[in-house]
């Protein structure tokens, strides 16, 4: 999708809409834990590293698309993006 949004991080368009419910919110929390992160909620959720509080990703749930923004240089960025892609996909 390119650069922009969430502090200039590259954006990756998801092929589905995100509707926050208990199931995918818990899935997001689980992925955050896998990557030694916590989720900070606000206008949209941000994944931040436990040890430094540095934001490594943000998930946006616009009405017409979902997107994940990932910090350039984060060594596990591709792995994190793939996990978020998988766990946030609508079930069924």
Asked whether the beta carbons of 51 and 35 are under 8 A apart, the reply is no
33-87, pLDDT tens digit by residue?
999 999 999 888 999 999 989 999 999 988 788 999 999 889 999 999 999 999 9
Nearest by Cα to 83 from 39, 36, 44, 28 = 28
pTM beyond 0.75: the answer is: yes
1-28, pLDDT tens digit by residue?
444 555 567 889 998 999 899 999 999 9
In angstroms, the Cα distances linking 89 to 31, 73, 75 are 13, 25, 24
Identify the three-state secondary structure at position 71: coil
| Pairing, β 37-40 against β 46-49 | antiparallel
Identify the three-state secondary structure at position 57: strand
pLDDT at residue number 3? 47
């Amino acid at each position: 999708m390119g650069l922009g949004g969430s502090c200039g991080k590259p954006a990756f368009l998801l092929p589905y809409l995100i509707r926050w419910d208990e199931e995918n919110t818990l899935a997001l929390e689980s992925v955050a834990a896998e990557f030694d992160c916590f989720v900070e909620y606000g206008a949209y959720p941000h994944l931040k590293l436990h040890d430094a509080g540095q934001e490594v990703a943000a998930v946006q749930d616009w009405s017409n698309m979902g997107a994940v923004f990932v910090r350039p240089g984060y060594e596990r960025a591709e792995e994190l993006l793939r996990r978020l892609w998988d766990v946030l996909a609508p079930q069924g």
